[in-house]
Amino acid sequence: MMTVPDLSGRIALVTGASRGIGYQLAKQMAAAGAHVIAVARTVGGLEELDDEITSAGGQATLVPLDLTDMAGIDRLGGAIFERWGKLDIMVANAGILGVISPIGHIEAKTFEKVMTINVTATWRLIRSMEPLLRTSDAGRAILLSSGVAHSARAFWSAYAASKSAVETMARCWAEETKNTPLRVNSVNPGATRTAMRAQAMPGEDPDTLPNAFEVAAKIVPLASPALTETGKLFEVQEGRFKDYVLPA
Ligand code: NDP
């Protein structure tokens, strides 16, 4: 499970690739041989990624896109179809925290933004990319969730609810596609030293946390054509898949 898979010739879309976990996932998938399609708003971060990938002999295509632009997501699907005719790997990693606040104090525009980016854009990405992933001989979808989807932590309601929604979409999609080569899994990276974690936990010493490089290295194997699991949650820091407990 933990060995670096051979991703030669595979086309991998990674959202939120301008920094943090997504940046490392894009870089490591490119190093494993994939052509990475890197999506985010911050052009500087994407360009830094491109420099790192190309200087290591890899290939990337940069897509500066705000994921609140739903028509833009659809256009991206069309562009991938035109250029490659398929997609092998989709990593829905981009996300925002919103605010840590009592549920009744969250501003409407903050709540709506968390849902738009974390949930609606992820659904839109699924809708646009599914036909391309189904064209692949071994399509792999990896959706970034969080431990708070299960722990119902005080003050994290918007983000936690958004990640519960992501996991549930992933499980429904996995059920719909279980008899196809497509494999769909959620991932809880666990606390990771990134800008988002610093926003959530400003008092925490970041040096106590694993960094995005280490965390991404454990997620990359989920893109392997050899992967068999679908509809599961991968707990990165435990290094194992977890089954959901289904009602009898
Ligand atoms: P960061 O805040 O470091 O990075 C988030 C990424 O998402 C950035 O590349 C950002 O790019 C992108 N993004 C945010 N909004 C948009 C948007 N509107 N359009 C396009 N891209 C967008 O987060 P992490 O690396 O920490 O998190 C990655 C994933 O892991 C998230 O889904 C997060 O919820 C999850 N996670 C993280 C944990 C942690 O401890 N770090 C723990 C549990 C889960 P840009 O701003 O350039 O657009």
In-domain check, residue 3 = no
Question: What backbone phi and psi angles, to 5 degrees, belong to 246?
Answer: -95, 145
Task: Confirm or reject: Cβ of 98 under 6 Å from ligand 1.
Answer: no
Nearest to 34 by CA among 64, 13, 49: 13
Half-sphere exposure of 121 (CA within 13 A, CB side): 26
**Number of C-beta neighbours around residue 196 at 10 A:** 17
Taking the whole predicted model, whether its pTM rises above 0.95 is answered as yes
Task: Confirm or reject: Cβ of 20 under 6 Å from ligand 1.
Answer: yes
Chain-centroid distance of CA 136 in Å reads 19
In-domain check, residue 230 = yes
In-domain check, residue 151 = yes
Cα-to-centroid distance, 96 and ligand 1 (Å): 6
Looking at residue 247, what is its pLDDT? 57
DSSP class of residue 67? T
In-domain check, residue 139 = yes
Instruction: Say if residue 1's pLDDT is above 60.
Output: no
CA-to-CA distance for 244 and 232, rounded, in angstroms?
Answer: 7
Looking at residue 183, what is its pLDDT? 98
Average pLDDT over residues 231-240: 96
The total of structural domains in the chain comes to: 1
Nearest to 144 by CA among 10, 23, 1: 23
Beta carbons within 8 Å of 172's beta carbon, 6+ residues apart = none
Give the Å distances, CA to CA, from 129 to 76, 90, 141. Answer: 9, 8, 10
Domain, as residue range, for 142: 11-242
Could you read off the pLDDT of 87-128 as tens digits, one per residue? 999 999 999 999 999 999 999 999 999 999 999 999 999 999
CA-to-CA distance for 161 and 112, rounded, in angstroms?
Answer: 12
Strands 183-188 and 140-144: parallel
Out of 111, 159, 173, 234, pick the active-site residue.
Answer: 159
What are the residues facing 183 on neighbouring strands? 140
Could you read off the pLDDT of 136-156 as tens digits, one per residue? 999 999 999 999 999 989 999
In-domain check, residue 248 = no
**If you average pLDDT over every residue of the chain, what do you get?**
96
In-domain check, residue 125 = yes
Could you read off the pLDDT of 18-61 as tens digits, one per residue? 999 999 999 999 999 999 999 999 999 999 999 999 999 999 99
- 23 as an active site residue: the answer is no
Instruction: Give one word for 187, left, alpha or beta, with left for phi > 0 and alpha for psi -120 to 50.
Output: beta
Instruction: Say if residue 174's pLDDT is above 80.
Output: yes
Are 48 and 40 in contact by the 8 Å Cβ rule? The answer is no
Are 129 and 73 in contact by the 8 Å Cβ rule? The answer is no
Q: What is the CA radius of gyration of the chain?
A: 17
Question: Which residue's CA is the nearest one to ligand 1's atom 24?
Answer: 20
Looking at residue 3, what is its pLDDT? 84
In-domain check, residue 247 = no
Looking at residue 2, what is its pLDDT? 62
The residue ranking higher by pLDDT, 248 or 180, is 180
Question: Which residue's CA is the nearest one to ligand 1's atom 41?
Answer: 192
In-domain check, residue 1 = no
We report the CATH number of the domain holding residue 128 as 3.40.50.720
Are 138 and 225 in contact by the 8 Å Cβ rule? The answer is yes
Task: Confirm or reject: Cβ of 189 under 6 Å from ligand 1.
Answer: yes
What are the residues facing 241 on neighbouring strands? 234
Looking at residue 248, what is its pLDDT? 60
CA-to-CA distance for 156 and 153, rounded, in angstroms?
Answer: 6
Nearest to 215 by CA among 160, 164, 144: 144
Instruction: Say if residue 236's pLDDT is above 90.
Output: yes
Give percent of the chain above pLDDT 70: 98
Atom of ligand 1 nearest to the CA of 209: 40
Looking at residue 244, what is its pLDDT? 84
What are the residues facing 234 on neighbouring strands? 187, 241
